[in-house]
Structure 1
Amino acid sequence: MAKWGEGDPRWIVEQRADGTNVNNWHWTERDASGWSSDCLRQLLLGVQVEGPEGKCQLTDIAKLEGEASINNRKGKLIFFYEWQLKANWLGTSSKGLKYRGTVEVTNLSDENDMDDLDISASLCKDQPNTPLLDLMRKKGVQEVREVLGEYVTRLKSEFTQGMILPTANGPKPQPEKKTQIQTSKTQISSTPKCSSSPASSSKGVRISTCSFNLEETFRTSADELYRTFINQEFVQVFTRSAAVVDGRRGGKFQLLDGNVSGEFTQLVPDQRIEMRWRFRTWPSEHYATITLDLRDHGDETELKMECRGVPSGEEDSTREGWTRFYFQAIKQTFGY
């Protein structure tokens, strides 16, 4: 990782007109408690289930205690939330009789998966037994679990708008809790191989080119890693910017604010990706040939990259850019 001012400025956003936390250098925090409280109330009060026994619905929130926040720590979002809640439900039997009860959730937090939440449904003490309680314990509890999952999804999407900025140089961020980041195993050829016969661009300008190889190991399956490179949504997540990616043979791509563009020339699902790839400042219409070979080893995947046709003098910045903005970014974002 280069120090500030020593890296290739073309791969980064040097300045922002709005003066916003450039390069995510500062740790920023956004309080999501108020937004979360409103979101949880809205979602929970929409819970309603029906069955042969009758129907039940949540009528009001009796308890909603906790907090939520989002930290942008040197380019990585870390979510914290912890809530305890209690809601009242009203049931109407098939005979028109009314029953009241409660639903409680004691451990809604970032440390627990949705399937691990403790959600209980019960009748109020003065209420007689009714089949509606079984309806709430089966369908009602499942519906509550689903809307709590919806809350977490919204927290990590809608509420985070504007917090992720394009990252540049700076210390490597600490991993988010429960995320394992594989130690880098990048291997770089010691001396770039220069082409003996200069390449020509479509403009007729003959340029000398070089090639290099990289190797990297990711803690994920080959099919997931393959999808990460060719799926537009995945690319937008790890580059933290808008991208256009047509993940098919002959499909074109453009990412990193238009600095990188190219075309997929060969795709072998879960095994191999070939592309014509160029950086915007290279000679007009000149492309390098990138080959990514994926070898699945069960719980990890070995990636071998061959890059041919890089303009001489651009090999260091290209190699550093691929290492930082592809490989490291993928690991830090997805925990591979």
Structure 2
Amino acid sequence: MSVVQPMSNTTANWHWKNKNIGPWARQWFQRELVAITITGDGDESVQVTGVTDVDGDVELGQRKSKLITIYDVKIELEWSGKASDGTEASGKLVIPEVSHEVTLDGLSEYTYNWTLTTKKSKPVDSLYQLARQRLPVALEAKFAEFPAAIIETHGKDLTVSSEPSRTGTPVQATDATSATSTATAATPAPKSVARSPPPKKTTVNTSTVEVEATFMAAADDLFSLFTDERRIPIWTRAPAKSDPTPGSEYSLFGGGVKGKYVSLDAPKQIVQTWSLQSSDWPSGHEATFTTTLIQSSESTTVKFTLKGVPLGREDEIKRNIEGYYVHGLKSIGLGSEL
């Protein structure tokens, strides 16, 4: 994997800045992956018991105020399972490439190299098949969380804000010379003080992004997954807040996306304001996110339309919708086709 090296840092927001976060990434995978447990149709269960190696490069970069995740790692882990009759099985798994290109860009599929270390038997083979069928879905859901975790944890270390503070009272005009003069300090303060003019509202040139996917689920079930605060974390794998009534606020992906419900027509359409909580999303700017559900006899087609995307960010936002929304639903077994 090629890594862009930092350029001259004469203007912080316009040149590359990179932060190596390899040690933190290893700890993140070791902590998050061992929390994965999946179950079969009966009492069978399989879990990740340890992450033995995370080898590769992980960096967070910034160029023109845009944060970019740069990572490509090979992950080796151990798994174990237990059948309903008490039979146990264990093995190893190697994922040669977990990278930005696979997770967010979708340029290739994940590869899984399995090893069974327990002597074969019918119950052991059943556990082995359970691991091969369902562990990848849970693992990919965790991999989808990794880029957001990088930015949430380390983004503040690279972001240099060029906007004036909006907290506290307006700044008073100050004379540097009189500030150090005893005589002037004793002079009563003037009745009127100069204040900074209010910031001008920035005009944002925008475009529209559309993503369509087909899911093996009923429209009313998908509508519930999109709006029910208790069910949203099933596919986002992150805390959510949602009161599905017009005018009420919602928050997805642990606060990464926020907005308000505009209208809801169950189970056909959801209209929301949509704002990305990111340093490079225009301050105060809201897009309109429309989710349209069209049910057929065997599946439901979902059309995601985001109107108001800042020009130049269409490809990135489209990948994020495909990765976080479509892949998130795919990860819980609904199946989808882009």
TM-score by length of 1: 0.47
Point out the structure with max Rg over C-alpha: 1
TM-score by length of 2: 0.47
